[in-house]
Structure 1
Amino acid sequence: MVVKSTGSHDFSRNFKAHWVAPTLRELQRRKVIEEDRGGGPKIFHRSTFLEWNYDAEIFAFSNRLGEKFNDSSLRAALTHKSYIERETARLSDIGVESNLQFQDNEALAQKGGEIMSKFINGYLRAVFTQVPEELIRAMHDFLTSNPTLETVAKHIGLGDLMLCADFPCKTETYVKSFKAVVAALAESSGEERARIFVQDLVITQLYGQDVNELWNPVDPIGNLTAILKREGKAEPEFRLIRQAGSNSILAVYYVGVYSDKNFISEGAGESLEVAKEMAAREALKKFFHTEDSMRALPFGRQLKNIQSKIAQLENQPNVPLSEWISPKIMSAVH
């Protein structure tokens, strides 16, 4: 087979001038230095982009959440007091009379925090019917903590919509704005929609959490003893079930806890004392129905039939640990 020449070849297609590579390396070096000085890549607010349209963003935000907001309430919920102060000072500096028609989110945030706390307590008491109020309070504090609410606020895109003086926005700004959005939704669509909104976005943060780790009772053995005593049962008896490597640094002991010769639970630890405490903790989990194998938390359609129950329990606390006994014993007494 004879291969014919196609004539002259154009080798300039992939040619780059000798200065390109050194220039790119220098630009990358300067970028790394700038990021190190600034603590990371420089972040630009969404409003600095050319296609920014705040009215369109507000409309898209409402539709993205699938909720109906009163426009003035939503805008107030996203307006921080620091933004109004900054704009007023800026206009004053250039000699323009300040006549800004803005409402900050201070009042809405206060109201939103209160109703969100109420919604969370109602859900927890309706779902965790057999846990003491101390554990309800611990889960509530986790869900209403600043890190949790900041995470939720960022995930729904509040960072691009909030009007505030600080950027990147502080944690407190995210939290206040999210609480204000909850209040704005309650004003616009009613408390029922706001309750479902909180359940879908905030309470779902319990997924992947061991609720028992959120509450650390000071004396689990003493608590177990007190519960058994109130139920008219014998004090807990701890028995060594098995052990391994007792003469090594990897020793493990399994201790079972009994009452009236009936097995309650068992726990493991690197020493007998730790194993006893873990066995007592496992017994409390069993009493409160918060074992690792507990049923998944209900959300969405599963809550449709108990929304009225949730509303009723918002102001009815569970039994405190100091008075707690099992529901079977309580029903027998009454």
Structure 2
Amino acid sequence: MQKVAVLGAGSWGTALSIVLADNGYDVRLWTHRRQQAEEINSNSTNEKYLQVKLPKQIQAYYELEKAVADVSAILIVVPTKAIREVCSELSNKLHHHPTIIHATKGIEPESLKRVSQLISEEMDAYNYDDIVVLSGPSHAEEVGERQPTTVTVSSVNEQNAAFAQDLFINESFRVYTSTDMVGIELGGALKNIIALGAGISDGLGYGDNAKAALITRGLAEITRLGASLGASPLSFLGLPGVGDLIVTCTSTHSRNWRAGNLLGKGYKLGDVLEQMGMAVEGVRTTKAASQFAHQQQIEMPITNGLHKVLFEDMNPRDVVDQLMNRNKREEMDDLSAFIRTDCSD
């Protein structure tokens, strides 16, 4: 039986382990917590993160070297802030060359690097072109229950993307391929910023009109920034763009939405993160995107407004007032230049 290692036993790592187990693979789910590994192996549960019974093909490990021994693929699903540490350790433990796939949605502040770039930097035996990213509208809770879900896998190396597609696709988990890694990764990361904003909007008691505007104008910001960094604007109209925006901005399953909702109700960021108990990628990504926007000279008023709420202790309602009273503009000015460029040939 083909072996696959999944590094990160949170909700998303556990859900993707279920997909792989359903596809007949021997799944090795790694966690750095021994007690969590023992619960998974003894009870076939991971109660803190996902309330479903796990298939017997999933075995948990807390020793990384044993988890990755002789596997044909490694799926990395740890928070962005842990990517460098985990991949550096992984590089020292590997004695063969499995395919590396990641499903982490974030950007590293300061360096402004995407997760695939971080992985290739920390793993000497892998180039950027070797990495595959999996992204799309996918709540872990629904994936764990085998509800219909569709995602995209992307790699510069089309063979690796096809391998990942075959690895995951089944009757309830449909997988498309793409070669636009920049767009797929940025779509998955940047939508978390807009999800925070959607949660804040709901926490403030605003209605559907406000949320629709936030999502639509948020998509414009994401596309502007992504196009300036080399992504195809059309990628942001696909599953990791519009699809992920919809699912993350409109559901209580989304931890970014939940965090934003608490902020909108008046909680401070530190208290929100403590209450969540899991990584809220949108917080770090907001900081990174604000730096990107300044560096690229791209206008991102929603992102900058969220940065003021998160890191400058500005009242969310005051930020909304500022956004609503910006100078008048023509709506299509924001995207038309990029769309013309992308479709010109």
Q: Name the TM-score class by shorter chain.
A: under 0.3
Q: Which has the higher strand share?
A: 2
Higher relative contact order, structure no. (Cα contacts within 8 Å, ≥ 6 residues apart) = 1
TM-score by length of 1: 0.25
Considering only CA atoms, is the larger Rg found in Structure 1 or Structure 2? 1
Q: Normalising by structure 2, what TM-score?
A: 0.25
